[in-house]
Amino acid sequence: MGIVNSTTTKTAPKTAPRTAPLSAPLNLKFDYTRSVGPTIGGFLSALCDRRVVGVRGSDGRVLVPPPEYDSRTFEPLTDFVDVAPNGTVTSWTWEDNPLPGQPLTHPFAWAFIKLDGADTALLHVVDAGSADTMQTGMRVHVHWAEQTVGSILDIAYFLPGDGPAETPAAPETPAEISMITTPVRLSYNHSASHEESFYLRGIAEGKLLGGRTQDGRQVYIPPRSASPTDGLPTAEPVELPDKGTVTTFCVVNVPFMGQRIKPPYIAAYILLDGADIAFLHLVLECDAADVRMGMRVEAVWKPQEEWGFTLENIDHFRPSGEPDADFDSYKNHL
């Protein structure tokens, strides 16, 4: 009697061909507006008046720049103290290649400066001419901006030496700074992973490619280099349709700078058919009040000549006219 040996073989998941990863510069920028409160507001108002002030803490030290609360008592700090526009460099580092948006366009020093009358150091820049001029312990003085607005940049920079006694005239009307707008800028070069790259290449061809988990149970879009279920990459590409279901959404009613659509409009999480995770996009071409969970939507693509390696190739989603999806079909994807 013969014995038959049998083995079970597993078919390896299909993976996208390995090609060079995509790489591109990313520039993130937005303007952050906030209220400053009485302590920081007092500091900025004094700068606008071409004065530097600190606050006295519970231990008697004068703190510049002023924190809002005492580190020992946690009480608000409101006892303002004028300090001198001259001070001493306590430490420094040389900036040989200034970046866009930095205080000076030529080489300068970042320095901690303890102003006369203060017990803590202020971080600012020293226009020293060359790194050979800089040294710890050197004396510096404020050079004020031509126009002051209630910003740390009202101090344009510090110069070596104790400086002239004359200070440009302060504004006739004392400022009361209560709000500031700070530009936030971040520029870097991003190299996409293998999974991101085949997803982005698909987008550039008008395809929505997700990635299947290695256990075959779920499809993520965008694909992931590490699946949350097992830590393995979702490297098997799966083409998905450009139709899906609204799972959750919000009505955007607040206008903001750079907004291209007049409120109200809908930002919604859309679960594409065949996917196991939703992504955020716009729902337009309908009244905001008519959008609901379970609504069936379809993609509206931009003209092909405007396509790039971005999900913005889809301008928005719109109602498809199909009956709403049953809640059970998306309840696990909220």
Question: What are the structure tokens assigned to 180, written together?
Answer: 């500031």
Instruction: Look at strands 219-220 and 62-63 and give their pairing.
Output: unpaired
Average of per-residue pLDDT across 168-197: 83
Instruction: Tell the residue number behind the tokens 């800089």, with chain if given.
Output: 134
- Taking the C-alpha atoms of residue 38 and residue 177, their distance in angstroms, rounded to an integer, is 9
The structural domains of the chain, with segments of one domain joined by +, span 37-177, 190-333
Residue 185: pLDDT band (50, 70, 90) is confident
Residue 6: pLDDT band (50, 70, 90) is very low
What does pTM read for this prediction? 0.65
Average of per-residue pLDDT across 174-180: 84
- Percent of the chain scoring above 90 in pLDDT: 76
pLDDT of residue 228: 86
pLDDT of residue 11: 54
- Taking the C-alpha atoms of residue 134 and residue 108, their distance in angstroms, rounded to an integer, is 9
Q: pLDDT tens for residues 226-285?
A: 998 889 999 899 999 999 999 999 999 998 877 888 899 999 999 999 999 999 999 999
Q: What are phi and psi of 261, to 5 degrees?
A: -125, 135
- Taking the C-alpha atoms of residue 253 and residue 68, their distance in angstroms, rounded to an integer, is 32
Q: pLDDT tens for residues 289-313?
A: 999 999 999 999 999 999 999 999 9
Average of per-residue pLDDT across 123-135: 96
Average of per-residue pLDDT across 62-91: 95
Q: What are phi and psi of 50, to 5 degrees?
A: 60, 45
Question: Dihedral through CA 228, CA 222, CA 210, CA 288, nearest 10?
Answer: 110
**Is the confidence at residue 87, as pLDDT, over 60?**
yes
pLDDT of residue 67: 95
**Is the confidence at residue 168, as pLDDT, over 80?**
no
| Peptide bond preceding 223 in cis form (omega within 30 of 0) | no
pLDDT of residue 172: 63
- Taking the C-alpha atoms of residue 61 and residue 40, their distance in angstroms, rounded to an integer, is 17
**Is the confidence at residue 28, as pLDDT, over 70?**
yes
3-state secondary structure the chain: CCCCCCCCCCCCCCCCCCCCCCEEEEEEEEEEEEECHHHHHHHHHHHHCCCEEEEECCCCCEECCCCCECCCCCCECCCEEEECCEEEEEEEEEECCCCCCCCCCCCEEEEEEEECCCCCCEEEEECCCCHHHCCCCCEEEEEECCCCCCCHHHEEEEEECCCCCCCCCCCCCCCCCCEEEEEEEEEEEEECCHHHHHHHHHHHCCCEEEEECCCCCCEECCCCCCCCCCCCCCCEEEEECCEEEEEEEEEECCCCCCCCCCCCEEEEEEEECCCCCCEEEEECCCCHHHCCCCCEEEEEECCHHHCCCCHHHEEEEEECCCCCCCHHHCHHHC
| Peptide bond preceding 222 in cis form (omega within 30 of 0) | yes
- Taking the C-alpha atoms of residue 60 and residue 115, their distance in angstroms, rounded to an integer, is 16
- Judge whether 266 and 282 are in contact, CB under 8 Å: yes
**Is the confidence at residue 111, as pLDDT, over 90?**
yes
